[in-house]
Amino acid sequence: MPWVYLIIAGLLEICWAIGLKYTHGFTRPVPSAFVLATLAGSMFLLAKAAQTLPIGTAYGVWVGIGALGAAILGIVLFHEAVTPMRLLFLGMLLVAIIGLKATAG
């Protein structure tokens, strides 16, 4: 169950990170509430996962999922640059996430 918590926490991290673009510096109430709610949920589930998983693994996977997802959605939603090097490093990030999961024990 801790891995399920961690994956959901990572997905919520993507939500709040992308949501930050829509808050306009926390001046828009609905997007701001969304960001705060998803941030709280993400932290709660990370804490639940970290009760069982090593904190280095849990935090690394959580950050990795969030960073990878935010980068991909930044490309899709905000037309951020897509370069071969960026894609290479996003692929390496995915390999690192999988590696942390595979070696968690």
Q: How far is CA 48 from the centre of its chain?
A: 16
Instruction: Give CA–CA dist 32/59, Å, rounded.
Output: 24
Type of residue found at 60: G
Instruction: Give CA–CA dist 27/98, Å, rounded.
Output: 37
pTM for the model stands at 0.90
Under a CB-based contact definition with an 8 Å cutoff, are residues 11 and 67 in contact?
A: no
Residue-wise pLDDT tens digits, 18-64: 999 999 999 999 999 999 999 999 999 999 999 999 999 999 999 99
